[in-house]
Amino acid sequence: MTPVEKEFEILINSFINDKVGITDHFLSDVLAGHLRNNLINLFQNNQLVKAGTGNNSKLSFDESIRSDSIYWLDRDHENEYENDFLDQMDDFIKYLNRSCYAGITGCEFHYAMYDIGSFYKKHLDQFQDNASRKYSMICYLNEDWVKADGGELMIYQSYNDKKISPDNGKCVLFKSSELHHEVLVANKQRMSITGWLKRG
């Protein structure tokens, strides 16, 4: 088993055990660093867009609910580090399908920048009129994060709420249709790649 596959196993096994998969080193420090630099450059060049809620014609923008900015990853960008990330996600999907018969057929991911004071109120990740999102994944790009920086991912479970620090290289996995969650107020810039494993 390769080091990357060991991280896949940790993520999957922790998900099976507690409905929230967590692994601390899903992204290597090198890849996380390149992705973080990409995101910072996009932010500085005003290429991020305000994130909304809902989909298609129901998309709405309300900064009292969500105040982050995003940029979708796409192989057409021909950015080697985005493609390295997407290659790793393709490998993870193959591993997940092979080991858990998950039936995932695709994925979508975007960079997310939470500037100082930004947040995302409690929500579910699955749309009411589209059930294609099966698993939510967040990979964090934050160096030297400390408790005072805030910005934790709060996941609500009836038996055990979780407050997860957005530490560099960490990845979180959960079912999009099941767990309400929110991003608490960030006290410094908080960076991640967020996305969904999809079926159908």
SS3 3: helix
CB 197 within 8 A of CB 105: no
Residues 194/172/84/196 CA torsion (nearest 10 deg): -50
pLDDT tens for each residue of 167-178: 999 999 999 999
pLDDT of residue 158: 84
pLDDT of residue 125: 84
Ordered structural domains, the chain, with CATH: 3-198 (2.60.120.620)
DSSP string, 164-177: E---TT-EEEEETT
Burial 116-143 (b: 16+ CB within 10 A, else e): eebbbeeeebbbeeeeebbbbbbbbbbe
Residue 10, φ and ψ in degrees, nearest 5: -60, -45
pLDDT of residue 200: 78
Residue that the structure tokens 């996995």 belong to: 173
**Residues with pLDDT less than 50, the chain:** none
